[in-house]
Amino acid sequence: MPRRWPAPASPRQPPLVGDARFVPPVRLRAILSNPALWIQPHPAAGMPCLGRVRAELNPIIRSDTRERSAEDQVYYPAFDIPSVGGGTLIAVVAIVHVFIAQSAVGAGLFMAVSETLARRNGDELVLRFLRDASKYLVYLAFVAGAISGVAIWFSISIVSPRATSLLIHNFVWAWVTEWVFFAVEIAAGYAYYYGWDRLSPRRHIAAGWIYAGASWMSLFVINGIITFMLTPGRWQALRADEAWSAAYWAGLFNPTFWPSLILRTLSSMALAGIFACVFVNLLGGYGREERIRIVRMAAGFMSPLVLMTPVAVWYFVRVPSYPRGLALGGSAAMTLFFVFGLVCSVLIALYALALIRRRAYVSLETSLLLASMAFVATGAMEYVREGIRKPYVVRGYLWSNGLANQPAEFARLRRDGILAHSPWIAPPDRLAAADARTRGRWVFQAQCAQCHTVNGVNGIQALVTGWDRTLTRKAIDHLDQLKGFMPPFIGTDSEKDALTEYLYSLNPGAREDPPIPLARASVRAEAAP
């Protein structure tokens, strides 16, 4: 008698995250080989495209968006980098990776467009330059890009594992799609590089366009996941109503998806033009007039940056009011970085327009300066994007310390305490005997160390210097009200007391008596004879 595989779960009862099951090959082939399932609408799909296939596969591979209940939630081990902090690690890796990845996307567009025009016009100079520069595409996209891509996955997984898990499970099909485009990108890129003498001109151009299209589609998908973190849109409401497929599409095509996609495309094109200026100066065998021609062609890719300002305005119109206010004056650091990144982009665009108009030559030093400005502008904009999302990792749903903004989880942690659910930080056999400062240090590691170090980057010691116990406890009680970019403290009163003791112990020369307030001390000093 043939074995009967379990029937798919109801669309209104999606499985828990992480509950994986072996997929029988016969069952999987039966689903994927039935074209009728591909186009047949499903009540939970929200749209017919592959809706039935997704509904059939979800109960098997357990990839839907539901997380465990508050009572079943397991918290992850804490990862600490003394004096540097996990946030700094992610920032450094992410900025490098974004710079490389967007340069690779722009390089694909640059080579596909340039070769198409060069073949049509019989321009041997451009073809020679593209051939010489294509090896750097392999180094940049396939070596540096791959290494930094693995590094970004590693860093976010150890520093913010719950957010990483949420993004994977919520967008599992988007990640699959992106990996398919990435595989096509790699294959087409190698075909382009090795095909100069092996492929006909028409097929070589096709390989270039396939690489350009696949790399841009990879950016298209990743852009939806990144923008979701700041503007999830109707995702949470649809998720609460158990409209799972509709929540997926609402989260992917969120309010800032399109302006962010245009901004990143413009940046990619500009980076490709800048690196063309660098390569034509680094590569030998080009005379001054030949380099001027290549530079002028590259300037055409940099000039669209003049659109950066209006598109940035569109982007911030779509951003919620509080994050927008941080970038537009609410936070001095955010405003400074935003203005600096915008000014750098505009200056590069104006310089490119001047190159086109005056047929000027760009030296190696100047091109490296432009590349440095582009790197700093990329880092500044990424810093702003990450910074204005605070106090959330996923706005409105997941706090930056890895706790969910959900009433059930609040009630659980306020009843049991954060340490009761953090065995990786507070060993259960030592918890009862630990003194207040030790328990406070554990609480700090559980709820604060994702953003703060003790005495390094964003060090808490400098921030609480001069605070007495009363002020420290009041600040903990009203943390999200005093600092709008910080999440509330979630735990028991005894844990608040323990954290107060630990933070107070970080004061240099901590003492039992509260210090004299600075304003009162200055008045006394002036009154002294």
Closest CA to 426 of 411, 406, 447: 447
Provide the pLDDT for residue 113. Answer: 96
The predicted pLDDT at position 306 comes to: 87
In 122-243, which residue ranges form alpha helices assigned H by DSSP?
124-137, 145-159, 161-170, 172-194, 201-230, 235-240
Q: In whole angstroms, give the CA distance from residue 148 to residue 142.
A: 10
pLDDT at 232: 95
Question: What would the mean pLDDT of 403-429 be, rounded to a whole number?
Answer: 90
Strands in 17-116 per DSSP E? none
pLDDT tens sequence across 65-120: 444 544 455 577 778 888 888 888 999 999 999 999 999 999 999 999 999 999 99
Longest dimension (CA), the chain: 103
Residue 42 near residue 55, CB atoms below 8 Å: yes
pLDDT bucket at 432, cuts 50 / 70 / 90: confident
Give the per-residue pLDDT at 33: 54
Distance, CA of 321 to CA of 332 (rounded, Å):
17
Looking at residues 33-56, what average pLDDT do you find?
46
pTM of the shown model? 0.82
Element (H, E) at 248: helix 244-252
The average confidence (pLDDT) of the chain is 83
pLDDT tens readout for residues 198-208 = 999 999 999 99
Reference 93, options 156, 184, 170; nearest CA is 156
Confidence tier at 284 by pLDDT (50, 70, 90): confident
Q: Rounded to an integer, what distance in angstroms lies between the CA atom of residue 499 and that of residue 444?
A: 7
Say how far apart CA 108 and CA 268 lie, in whole Å. 10
For the chain, which domains are there?
1-64 (no CATH), 86-398 (1.20.1630.10), 411-505 (1.10.760)
Structure-token pair, residue 130: 């593209």
